Amino acid sequence: MRFPKKQKALLEKLPSDVEFSTVVRFNSAPQYTKFLKMKAFEGSGVLWVAGDVVYFKSTKGLLVSFDLKNYQILWKGENLVNGLLKWFSIGDEMKKIYFNVESGMFIFNKGPQNLTTRSIFEKLLLKQAATK
């Protein structure tokens, strides 16, 4: 599958111990909960798992990590304010990021693994359960 230039550059720089990775859209907590916004998502980037940690790096330079032993992964489902997209979040009270892949009738990016928002969420839950 052909990725946009910025996402491709991020994928090419991933460490060698990555278990799986995918290109996603994201929102920070303030953007996700904002009622009036220009776009349903804040940006895009790459989400990957290495060891017991989920990492996310956006095309804007945001880099966050979530230890699967300490952070919650929650299914948010569809959100009218966020363009009827399906979302899940990773985080806690202090740090939370929301992720999705689909965009209404059009698919943003399923990548070579054909991952959906729900399947990414489920993979992360399985990985988290294996760490405990």
Question: How far apart, in whole angstroms, are the C-alpha atoms of residue 34 and residue 66?
Answer: 23
pLDDT at 19: 92
Q: Number of H helices and number of E strands within the chain?
A: 3, 9
pTM score, two decimals? 0.84
Question: How far apart, in whole angstroms, are the C-alpha atoms of residue 55 and residue 17?
Answer: 12
Neighbouring CB atoms inside 10 A of 90's CB total: 23
pLDDT at 84: 72
Q: For the chain, which domains are there?
A: 5-131 (2.30.29.30)
What residues in the chain have per-residue pLDDT under 70?
A: 1-4, 36-38, 79-83, 102-114
3-state SS class at 70? coil
Neighbouring CB atoms inside 10 A of 21's CB total: 19
Which amino acid type is present at position 1? M
